Amino acid sequence: MEITCAEALVRCLEMEGVELIFGYPGGAILPVYDALKDSKIKHILTRHEQGAAHAASGYARTTGRVGVCMATSGPGATNLVTGLANAYMDSIPLVAITGQVPTVQVGTDAFQEVDITGITMPITKHNYLVKDPKMLPMIVKRAFHIARTGRPGPVLIDLPKDIAMTPIQFKYPDDVKLMGYKPTVKGHGAQINQAAKLIMQAQRPVIYIGGGVVNANASEELVWLAETIDAPVVSTLMGLGAFPGDHPLFLGMLGLHGNKAANLAVTECDLLITLGARFDDRVTGRVAGFAPRARVIHVDIDPAEISKNVISHLPIVGDTKKVLEALLVRLDKKQNTTWINTVGYWKHEFAPRYRPGGEYLKPQYIIEEIYRHTGGDVIVATDVGQHQMWVAQHFAFKYPRKFVTSGGLGCMGFGLPGAIGAQFGRPDETVVLVTGDGSFQMTLNELATAAEQSLPLKIFVLNNRRLGMVRQLQEFYCDKRYMAVDFTFVPDFAALARVYGFKGFTVRTDQELQTALTEAFSDQGPVLVDCAIDPDENVMPMVLAGADICDALDYE
């Protein structure tokens, strides 16, 4: 029996096990929505396509499954772009489906036509414009395969309206053959042997982890590795939670706002074991000053990351979990007592800190209190800015896929829709959003989505009535010439949230904070807590541009 391509698409999605689609309809995608009407796949109507893309990303980040978002042609498609770029930078598996004008109109500047495959070429892992209706099932199969295998990433399928309505004989292909796409999963045996040798010889090893460990679900193997070889662990923003934040061997985040102990350990180590991390500029500071005394082992699923920014002495291309499994059987238990004592001293001496006191609540204190009230056993989504760094520094994530944040793109506005997606991914868990007053105002339209879907989000706005992170940059780099960073109008977020059915609190004192926290985590429903924080607080430590990561500015 023949069915339309739109119906075939929905069937394909069902066969891929898709349970949710975040999307927004329109003319060119009408046939697909019509077909969705008869499917058991749940469609979540967001309030903006950017929200749909970010929500799909939040879902994928917390579940490890492929997130799916959908939009119409033209403006619908361009509104997805930021979300796709965000997913691309953080290696998050997404499939985005966009409607397109009918084939005969493609290339004529038709109403609501944009070349979305052209636009998204640099920010998707791959994309397809469907030209032959018969190819649709194969394209969907390939899209999911590409999105979730190797280094994950977003894949876009652009479907012209006439093709969506064309009948085809439906058969979902069983396997995918792609001549040009065969990710290396298993590490090279000889390289792994060599790595084992280097590790056994090392006296001051450090394990440097990134989002690749999360993507590979390699946390267990990582803990074994660290404990077997007695090596401290430092993490990128994206890696937080992949190694237990309360583990004695954990030194916290490294890099520009990294913990001093983490940065010192990297600077002094003689072997840097890099797992699923990519030596981003926010991590390395001045490249020549990064791990200057170390030999570098680099395990990554993406060969292009090897020696891209920092030369690696021993590259191992492969899936981190598979490589660690192979490595562990080649290792003996060892101890690096002197090194661990040194590192332990740093960890204690330079624990994340802040200056208490003053008339305002300290943002770092609020993060610590959220941790205390929840036992740390919640999902935390953030936006981008100072508040994000304070969460990274002061919330000791114990498990992977609990920290939902925009790393590579640093995309303000990700927080709320990201939290919505996370809550759909993990309906039984508490989802906390820590946002800033600037970021929150970028996508707070999605409060309506959260309300409509009865999501019990716990939102904390760290409200400094300004773009705190940019103000901090201007303090250090522009001689305190503050420009375009202060809001002279800030809405009453608690009142605003109430309009959307949230319980809203405004807190200025510790006592008010405690009441709100207790309410937030005992109430079953959605709560927003607007926290007035010190507008002049800085994120410390801070490595200035061009400096080595061991030379960070800090409180006196």
Partner 1 sequence: MYHTLAVLVENSPGVLARVAGLFSRRGYNIDSLAVGRTDNPAISRMTIVVEGDERVLEQVSKQLHKLVDVIKISDITSSPHVDRELVLIKVNTDAGSRGEIMQIAQIFRANIVDYGHKNLTLECTGNQEKINAFEEALRPFGIKELVRTGKVAMLRGAKYTNINRTKEED
Ligand X SMILES: Cc1ncc(C[n+]2csc(CCOP(=O)(O)OP(=O)(O)O)c2C)c(N)n1
Given 14, 280, 302, 519, the residue binding partner 1 (CB under 8 A): 302
Burial class (CB in 10 A: 0-12, 13-18, 19+), 87: buried
String marking each residue 304-343 x if it binds partner 1 according to CB under 8 A? x-xxx-----------------------------------
- Strand intervals (E) in 53-166: 67-71, 94-100, 126-129, 154-160
Choose among partner 1, ligand X, none what residue 178 binds, the Cβ cut-off being 5 to 8 Å by kind. partner 1
Q: Kindly name the residue from 70, 412, 469, 540 that is annotated as catalytic.
A: 469
Terminal C-alpha separation, the chain: 75
Known catalytic residue at 540: no
Choose among partner 1, ligand X, none what residue 180 binds, the Cβ cut-off being 5 to 8 Å by kind. partner 1
Q: Kindly name the residue from 7, 16, 49, 537 that is annotated as catalytic.
A: 49
Choose among ligand X, partner 1, none what residue 468 binds, the Cβ cut-off being 5 to 8 Å by kind. ligand X
Count of residues that bind partner 1 according to CB under 8 A: 19
Candidates 120-128, 290-298, 335-343, 424-432; binding stretch for partner 1 (CB under 8 A)? 120-128
Sign of CA dihedral 265, 267, 270, 273: positive
255 pairs with which residues across the strands?
Answer: none
Cβ(436)–Cβ(73) below 8 Å: no
Choose among partner 1, ligand X, none what residue 469 binds, the Cβ cut-off being 5 to 8 Å by kind. ligand X
Known catalytic residue at 111: yes
DSSP string, 99-123: EE--GGGTTTT-TT---HHHHHGGG
> What are the Cα distances from residue 256, in Å, to 64, 273, 542, 548?
28, 20, 6, 9
Q: Can you tell me whether residue 327 is helix, strand or coil? A: helix
From 412, 245, 265, select the one nearest 344 (Cα to Cα).
Answer: 265
Choose among ligand X, partner 1, none what residue 89 binds, the Cβ cut-off being 5 to 8 Å by kind. none
Cβ(410)–Cβ(256) below 8 Å: no
Given 37, 40, 108, 122, the residue binding partner 1 (CB under 8 A): 122
Given 38, 40, 180, 337, the residue binding partner 1 (CB under 8 A): 180
Cβ(430)–Cβ(402) below 8 Å: no
Known catalytic residue at 221: no
Cβ 156 to partner 1, closest distance in Å? 12
Between residues 125 and 260, which has the closer beta carbon with respect to partner 1? 125
Choose among ligand X, partner 1, none what residue 74 binds, the Cβ cut-off being 5 to 8 Å by kind. none
Q: Can you tell me whether residue 426 is helix, strand or coil? A: coil
167 pairs with which residues across the strands?
Answer: 4
Between residues 127 and 435, which has the closer beta carbon with respect to partner 1? 127
Cβ 433 to ligand X, closest distance in Å? 12
Candidates 114-122, 210-218, 268-276, 450-458; binding stretch for partner 1 (CB under 8 A)? 114-122
404 pairs with which residues across the strands?
Answer: 381
Candidates 79-87, 123-131, 511-519, 522-530; binding stretch for partner 1 (CB under 8 A)? 123-131
Cβ(228)–Cβ(205) below 8 Å: no
Per CB under 8 A, does 129 bind partner 1?
Answer: yes
Q: Give me the residues that bind ligand X (CB under 6 A), please.
A: 383-387, 410-413, 436-439, 462, 464, 467-470
> What are the Cα distances from residue 116, in Å, to 76, 79, 416, 439?
10, 11, 25, 26
Per CB under 8 A, does 200 bind partner 1?
Answer: no
Q: Kindly name the residue from 42, 111, 220, 476 that is annotated as catalytic.
A: 111
Known catalytic residue at 161: yes
What is the rounded CA–CA span in Å between residue 260 and residue 246?
17
Between residues 27 and 535, which has the closer beta carbon with respect to ligand X? 535
What is the rounded CA–CA span in Å between residue 82 and residue 535?
29
Please give the residue ranges that form the binding site for partner 1 (CB under 8 A).
117-118, 121-122, 125-126, 129, 131, 146, 178-181, 302-304, 306-308
Q: Which residues have a catalytic role annotated?
A: 49, 111-112, 161, 469
